[in-house]
Structure 1
Amino acid sequence: MYVLSTVTGYVLTSALLLKCPLLLHRRKRETFRSRHISHRGGAGENLENTMAAFTHAVKLGTDMLELDCHLTKDEQVVVLHDSNLKRSTGHNANVSDVAYAELPPYLCRLGVTFKRECFVEGGKDKNIPLLRDVFEAFPNTPINIDIKVNDDTLIKKVSELVIEYNREHLTVWGNASDQIVRKCYKENSQIPLLFSLRRVLLLVGLFYTGLLPFVSFKEQFLEIPMPSVAFKLRDPRKMTRSERFITWLADSLLMRKALFDHLKARGIQVYVWVLNDEEDFKRAFDLGATGVMTDYPTKLKEFMEKNISSLSK
């Protein structure tokens, strides 16, 4: 009887704190809130991670730019997704082996990673920009930085640039790698953090065991994929039964309104990526996501304008 009473008390307390986490936790301070997030600046409308893409997205009114950083041979912080230049420029070389002044331009036509069989044609701007260029051009725009490699110098230099441009309140950084995220926090704890993959798994585990309301987090941003998007990126008929099951299971576990609402109540923003169709935009916002990351900023803007009444709830 005592055990049953104790378990019941724990379950009720957990349920209460899940709904009302501020009874136990102080809400994290939000210096910005982002709904409309442009992935690589909007990789479906302009060449990814270029100043043209970023400028287009900001003119549309995006709330946040998402971008990726690497370090060149001469230790310049550049905005580029891949560590190798082959896919983006046609040159088979690692960016870390090439000086910034010698970096080749982007190809005229690039595939859109999160949209099957879609390509974007480039305009005049095919240059790989410096992170400094982006900070100078968009001083008031929140920026989400993916530190692409585990490099102490890269992490240090990104932090120095954030400080130089007074952007600690307008920047979030991290990576799926827990080691990189821990190094980011050690380098500069004033820059808000993304959850690493390991910490996302911990978060989900705590949620399903009822322990989430009792645990504090240093991270301020949960950035997770919508696993069901995999069915659009690959032909489901070519996926094995186990692949389809794992995708369904991951989607069922991650896409939980109760989880999103709890985190938001604690001041932790929830971004779902990378969504490029209206039905996925709607699902993410219906689930309570703070923001949606897309390759098509124009499409997301139009969706949000059409559904402004429901999104404002």
Structure 2
Amino acid sequence: MCAAVYVLSTVTGYVLTSALLLKCPSLLHRRKRQTFLGRHISHRGGAGENLENTMAAFKHAVALGTDMLELDCHLTKDEQVVVSHDANLQRSTGINAYISDTAYAELPPYLCKLGVTFQRECFCEGGEDKRIPLLRDVFDAFPNTPVNIDIKVNNDTLIKKVSELVVKYDREHLTVWGNARNQVVKKCYKENPRIPVLFSLPRVLQLLGLFYTGLLPFVPLKEQFLEIPMPSIITKLKDPNNLTRSQRFITWLADTLLMRKALFDHLTARGIQVYIWVLNDEEDFQRAFDLGATGVMTDFPTRLKDFMDRNGISKPQ
């Protein structure tokens, strides 16, 4: 009987302590220093309004007032860091070649019309700018704009050169980098721990495990940005009638587990920003901000800006 009471009181004490620290993480963890805050994030520069990852897209988004540019990096054969999403150029240029096998001067231009990945049956037709830019072009043009860099391949030279560019342009306080793969994020952090990193997919799963077991308030986190999808948007990317029952269940379960206001509030209280991608509809913008997300990543920066202006959503003071 005494043992049962002891166990019960111990469990109760743990639960109460966990709940307290979930609400007040500063009791155990020093809040991470934030040098910028991203509310409005332009995915690939705004792939629904200009050709993705072009200087035209970045210029449009920055002129609109975006808080952050999201882009992707690869390394060419002559070791130039370029801004492009796919390793193979087929989808974006119509040429079946890999960026890593092509010198920068030989890279073909983008096609005139590209599909928008996160908007079903949507295409973007670009203007005159179809050039694949260098990362340094972006840094030169937008010295004060935060940039979110997805390191697309597990390449030590690419990671090293991106770090060197960030340091050269004095942008360690304006950059976040990473990848879904944990190995890449570890290499990024080892190469330059002064550049904030994203949670990799394995670390997101670990984060959820810690949250649902009540251990998260006790565990230190090196990452400063949680960048996650809103699983429910799959019904907008694919015809719902073509989704199987198991696909619909998995989507519902993932959305239920991942889209948690208590989790987002705890992370933001620790100075960890939460970005939800890639949202292109107003109802999803609203849901993300209602859940306590720090920012929204979109293909349509004008659409998101109009929504934020109408609803009085601005950077928290």
Report TM bin, short chain. Answer: over 0.9
Within a 5 Å distance, the mapping from 1:117-156 to structure 2 comes to 117-156=121-160
SS in 2 for 1:8: helix
Partner residue of 2:230? 226
Pick aligned residue for 2:214 from 210, 216, 225? 210
SS in 1 for 2:95: coil
Pick aligned residue for 1:8 from 6, 9, 12? 12
Distance 1:287 1:55 in 2: 30
Unaligned regions of 5+ residues in structure 2, if any? none
How far has the Cα of 1:59 moved from its partner? 0.1
* Residue identity in the other structure for 2:269: A
> Aligned Cα RMSD in Å?
1.0
Distance 2:54 2:256 in 1: 35
Partner residue of 1:23? 27
Distance 1:169 1:310 in 2: 21
**Are 1:59 and 2:63 counterparts?**
yes
Distance 1:125 1:11 in 2: 57
1:138-176 per-position Cα deviation (integer Å, ceiling 9, x unaligned): 000000000000000000000000000000000000000
Pick aligned residue for 2:168 from 164, 180, 188? 164
CA contact (8 A) 2:39 2:315 kept: no
Distance 2:133 2:282 in 1: 31
Unaligned regions of 5+ residues in structure 1, if any? none
- Against the structure 1 CA distance between its residues 234 and 32, is the aligned structure 2 distance closer, same or farther, given a 3 Å change threshold? same
How far has the Cα of 1:236 moved from its partner? 1.2
Distance 1:174 1:122 in 2: 28
SS in 2 for 1:110: strand
1:40-98 per-position Cα deviation (integer Å, ceiling 9, x unaligned): 00000000000000000000000000000000000000000000000000000010000
Pick aligned residue for 2:178 from 174, 182, 201? 174
Distance 1:154 1:177 in 2: 15
Size of the alignment, in residue pairs?
A: 313
SS in 1 for 2:266: helix
Pick aligned residue for 2:268 from 264, 267, 280? 264
Distance 1:303 1:261 in 2: 22
Distance 2:285 2:190 in 1: 35
Pick aligned residue for 2:38 from 34, 40, 43? 34
Question: Normalising by structure 2, what TM-score?
Answer: 0.98
Within a 5 Å distance, the mapping from 1:93-112 to structure 2 comes to 93-112=97-116
SS in 2 for 1:31: coil
CA contact (8 A) 1:285 1:311 kept: no
- Against the structure 1 CA distance between its residues 256 and 106, is the aligned structure 2 distance closer, same or farther, given a 3 Å change threshold? same
Question: Normalising by structure 1, what TM-score?
Answer: 0.99
